[in-house]
Structure 1
């Protein structure tokens, strides 16, 4: 199930990531050299010395709330390792091994 959370997810990411990381996301563009990237980062860092780095306007996304997911790893002779994770009423995960 997918739930829109444009503001919540962005706010969460902004409060849990270091300011340097939030600055780095603002520098995304095609560049000609590593030096140019570092210079742009330093300039951005100086411009936010005394303030919190605001969220970029283009940030958004969705939160996916899973109730079931399966992981599968291929094996010889089609003997795959398969694990099914199912969420219960208490929001805990039950793990079951499945046959190939």
Structure 2
């Protein structure tokens, strides 16, 4: 199944790649300077940087990450990012983010 690409925040799009009630895989594409606003959710999240460069805030820590890097975000932890160089993040969520469907 192919899911549509939808705008989220200015300069950011989201596309669900695969989903099951237990797990979801999502591509987020960012233009340079775009932000993923600080937020939290009940889902455990893993983020893999496919391309680009990002400043990622997870709780009180800030990490600069690039292609091939990944981060794990526990349930309920506030997080967000700023895109330093346009690129793509591949996020997995457990369980599935039903609000993305």
**Do the two structures share a fold, i.e. TM-score over 0.5?**
no
Q: Computing the radius of gyration over CA atoms, which structure comes out larger, 1 or 2?
A: 1
Please classify the TM superposition score into its range, dividing by the shorter chain length. under 0.3
TM-score normalised to structure 1 length = 0.23
**Structure 1 or 2: larger strand share?**
2
**Structure 1 or 2: larger helix share?**
1
